[in-house]
Structure 1
Amino acid sequence: MSDIGLIPVDWEDRFDPQRMLRERLDRAKAALEASDCDCLFVFRTEDARYLMGYRHHLGPAFIMGNAVVVLARGHDPILWTMDFEHCKQRMPWLGEDQIQPRANFREQVGMARWAAQVEGFIGSLKGKTVGIDIWDINMESAIKQTFPDTNFVDGYQSVLMRAKEVKTQDEIHCLKIANAMTEAALDKALAALRPGIRECEVLAIAWHTMTAMGSEWTQCSNIVASGPYTAPYRRFTSDRIIRNGDPVIIDIGACFNGYYGDLTRTWICGNVKPTKEMKEVHQKCYDALFNAGGAVKPGATNADVFAQADPYV
Structure 2
Amino acid sequence: MLGGEENSSPSSAAPVFKDDRKQAYLNPDGADRPLISPIPSSTLDSARRYRLGRLRTKMKEWDCPALLLYDPVNIRYAFDCSNMSIWTMHNPSRYALILADGPAIMFEFEGSEHVNDGLPGIDEVRTSKSFLFFTAGNLVEERMKAWADEISDIVGACCRNGRIAVDRLEPAPAAELQSRGFSLLDGQELAERARSIKSAEEIELMRWTIRVCEAGMARMYEVSEPGRTEREIWAELHFENARSGGEWLETKLLTAGPRTNPWYRECSDYIIKRGEMISFDTDMIGPYGYCADLSRSWTCGHVAMNAKQKELYSAARDQIDHNLSIIRSGMTFREFNEKSWRIPEKYIPHRYTLAAHGTGMADEWPGILLHPDFDENFSGVIEENMVLNIESLIAEDGSESIKLETQALVTAIGIERLDTFPWEEI
**Same topology, TM > 0.5:** yes
Distance 1:33 1:90, change over 3 A: closer
1:76 partner letter: P
Q: Percent identity among equivalent residues? A: 20
Q: Give me the whole-angstrom Cα distance separating, in 2, the residues matched to 1:52 and 1:118.
A: 19
Q: Indicate which of 98, 118, 122 corresponds to 2:151.
A: 118
Matches within 5 A, 1:194-205: 194-205=225-236
Q: Is the 8 A contact 1:181 1:254 kept in 2?
A: no
- Give the match for residue 153 of structure 1: 185
Q: Indicate which of 91, 112, 116 corresponds to 1:86.
A: 112
Q: Give me the whole-angstrom Cα distance separating, in 2, the residues matched to 1:122 and 1:257.
A: 30
Q: Is the 8 A contact 2:226 2:301 kept in 1?
A: yes
1:296 partner letter: I
Q: Indicate which of 238, 248, 268 corresponds to 1:217.
A: 248
Q: Is the 8 A contact 1:42 1:132 kept in 2?
A: yes
- Give the match for residue 62 of structure 1: 89
Distance 1:109 1:251, change over 3 A: same
Distance 1:268 1:65, change over 3 A: closer
- Give the match for residue 98 of structure 1: 124
**Structure 1 counterpart SS, 2:203:** helix
Instruction: Report the alpha carbon displacement of residue 71 of structure 1 after superposing the two structures with TM.
Output: 1.4
Distance 1:93 1:267, change over 3 A: closer
* 2:325 is equivalent to residue 299 of structure 1: no
**Structure 2 counterpart SS, 1:299:** coil
Q: Give me the whole-angstrom Cα distance separating, in 2, the residues matched to 1:26 and 1:34.
A: 12
| 1:149-205 deviations in Å (ceiling 9; x for gaps) | 221121221x22232121122211121111111111111111111111111111222
Matches within 5 A, 1:1-313: 6-7=37-38, 16-59=43-86, 62-63=89-90, 65-82=92-109, 84-88=110-114, 90-93=116-119, 98-106=124-132, 107-124=140-157, 125=159, 127-145=161-179, 147=180, 149-157=181-189, 159-218=190-249, 220-252=250-282, 253-270=284-301, 272-307=303-338, 308-312=340-344, 313=351
**Structure 2 counterpart SS, 1:202:** helix
Distance 1:193 1:8, change over 3 A: closer
Q: Give me the whole-angstrom Cα distance separating, in 2, the residues matched to 1:65 and 1:241.
A: 39
More strand by share: 2
Instruction: Report the alpha carbon displacement of residue 242 of structure 1 after superposing the two structures with TM.
Output: 0.3
Instruction: Report the alpha carbon displacement of residue 223 of structure 1 after superposing the two structures with TM.
Output: 2.8
> Which ranges of structure 2 fall in alignment gaps of 5 or more residues?
1-35, 133-139, 345-350, 352-426
1:231 partner letter: N
Q: Is the 8 A contact 1:32 1:38 kept in 2?
A: yes
**Structure 2 counterpart SS, 1:62:** helix
1:27 partner letter: R
**Structure 2 counterpart SS, 1:153:** strand
Instruction: Report the alpha carbon displacement of residue 135 of structure 1 after superposing the two structures with TM.
Output: 3.8
| 1:34-87 deviations in Å (ceiling 9; x for gaps) | 1132211211111111112220222266345422111122112111121x5433
Q: Is the 8 A contact 2:281 2:293 kept in 1?
A: yes
Q: Give me the whole-angstrom Cα distance separating, in 2, the residues matched to 1:242 and 1:66.
A: 42
More helix by share: 1
Q: Is the 8 A contact 1:81 1:102 kept in 2?
A: yes
Q: Bigger shift: 282-291 or 177-186?
A: 282-291
Q: Is the 8 A contact 2:68 2:166 kept in 1?
A: yes
- CA RMSD in angstroms comes to 2.5
Number of residue pairs matched?
Answer: 300
Q: Is the 8 A contact 1:182 1:210 kept in 2?
A: yes
**Structure 1 counterpart SS, 2:52:** helix
1:139 partner letter: P
Give the structure-1-normalised TM-score: 0.86
